[in-house]
Amino acid sequence: MSESYDGGPVAALRRIAFLLERGREDTYKVKAFRGAAAALLPLTDDEVRRGVDAGTLTDLPGVGASSAKVITDAVRGVLPDRLARAEREHGGDLTPGGHELRALLRGDLHSHSDWSDGGSPIEEMAFTAMELGHEYQVLTDHSPRLTVAHGLSAERLARQLGVVDAINQHLSAGFTLLKGIEVDILDDGGLDQTDEMLARLDVRVASVHSKLKMDAPAMTRRMVAAIKNPRMNVLGHCTGRLVTGGRGTRPPSQFDARVVFEACAEHGVAVEINSRPERRDPPTALLELARDSGCLFSIDSDAHAPGQLDFLVYGAERAEAAGIEPDRIVNTWPKDRLLEWANG
């Protein structure tokens, strides 16, 4: 006998997409379900049901046979097989540890939308963060120099800030989408956005994305110069390494980590524990050095899709293993304390 389901077809499609992203499945599979959910949104419940009864759902742009089966089951109150399979395959714990610390994280300081190289609209990222119980989420699309990621010029960033304001007006009082950026650290240590725009943001993650093979002394100078910039809050994925994944592997950049982390500690810049499984950045030895250097930390998902927002537990597991006290992790802090630190 089929299991009953009362979540509705859009919820079923969104949940499948979330779970596939969480499980790092192929992007094309995810897009099929998110596209189908978007196709249903303008329709009334009666219109969807008529499409189910008439067998015409696949006439809708973005709805294929697999999505139509999910919609049909959900409308008829039956748990869709595709949803049940996604729950079995990707709905369990991602890690054995890190769950206590993950429960203390109030938000995430590093996430991307389809304004740069993310795959989903800003509002979908915000809704998913709310569903995960976050109190805040920082939107950090890329800066102009990273053209391959469709980085935001000052003009596009200014328009995005208006969109964030509009979205916040429609969100519940217990959640805030915060304005941010993942700004490139330029070759000389400058930040790849105007100071005027950086000043309008709530939180700023700064990362090296170019010339990762720069010699160690020059890379050290570059990173320290950025850390000294009063607008910088978080040092993103500090080595730039890739340990697995579809993009292949990449060795860590070389720099004097002690000098860099001591500068972070001195200037109140948090070292990011990047939770993406293909990054695991910083490596364990550097994570422990940053701990011993007195650094603050930020456990971030670096999510490029809604389901990846759940990656935070990977970073929490590493922070727990390193014995990092929760109060040194800035996204365990309430929003007001976080904003005071970021803009003090």
Q: Please enumerate in sequence order all residues whose Cβ is within 8 A of that of 25, keeping only pairs 6 or more positions apart, or say none.
A: 90
Helix (H) or strand (E) holding 137: strand 136-139
Which one of 64, 90, 116 terminates a domain? 90
In a 13 Å sphere around the CA of 306, the CA atoms on its Cβ side amount to 24
Which one of 90, 112, 146 terminates a domain? 90
Give the global pTM: 0.95
3: in domain: no
What is the predicted pLDDT for the residue at 246?
74
* Residues 53 and 110 occupy one common structural domain: no
77: in domain: yes
* Residues 124 and 53 occupy one common structural domain: no
107: in domain: yes
* Residues 122 and 247 occupy one common structural domain: yes
What is the predicted pLDDT for the residue at 103?
98
What is the predicted pLDDT for the residue at 1?
60
* Residues 78 and 106 occupy one common structural domain: no
* Residues 298 and 185 occupy one common structural domain: yes
What is the predicted pLDDT for the residue at 122?
97
pLDDT by 10s per residue, the chain, length 344:
679 999 999 999 999 999 999 999 988 889 999 999 999 999 999 999 999 999 999 999 999 999 999 999 999 999 999 999 999 999 999 999 999 999 999 999 999 999 999 999 999 999 999 999 999 999 999 999 999 999 999 999 999 999 999 999 999 889 999 999 999 999 999 999 999 999 999 999 999 999 999 999 999 999 999 999 999 999 999 999 999 877 789 999 999 999 999 999 999 999 999 999 999 999 999 999 999 999 999 999 999 999 999 999 999 999 999 999 999 999 999 999 999 999 98
Starting at the earlier edge strand, list the strands of the sheet with 176-184: 107-108, 136-139, 176-184, 203-207, 234-235, 270-274, 296-300
Query: Phi first, then psi: what are they for 28, rounded to 5°?
Result: -65, -30
* Residues 85 and 120 occupy one common structural domain: no
192: in domain: yes
Domains: count for the chain: 2
Range of the domain at 328: 99-343
Which one of 48, 70, 90 terminates a domain? 90
1: in domain: no
CATH number at residue 254: 3.20.20.140
* Residues 116 and 79 occupy one common structural domain: no
183: in domain: yes
- 141 neighbors 181 (Cβ within 8 angstroms): yes
* Residues 183 and 266 occupy one common structural domain: yes
* Residues 148 and 231 occupy one common structural domain: yes
* Residues 42 and 111 occupy one common structural domain: no
* Residues 116 and 65 occupy one common structural domain: no
CATH number at residue 44: 1.10.150
2: in domain: no
Q: Please enumerate in sequence order all residues whose Cβ is within 8 A of that of 199, keeping only pairs 6 or more positions apart, or say none.
A: 231
* Residues 73 and 154 occupy one common structural domain: no
Q: Rounded to an integer, what distance in angstroms lies between the CA atom of residue 260 and that of residue 270?
A: 11
Q: What stretches of 140-269 adopt beta strand conformation (E)?
A: 176-184, 203-207, 234-235
Q: Which two tokens stand for residue 31?
A: 């897009």
What is each CA distance from 20 to 248, 297, 306, 308, 324, in whole angstroms?
Answer: 21, 29, 10, 9, 31
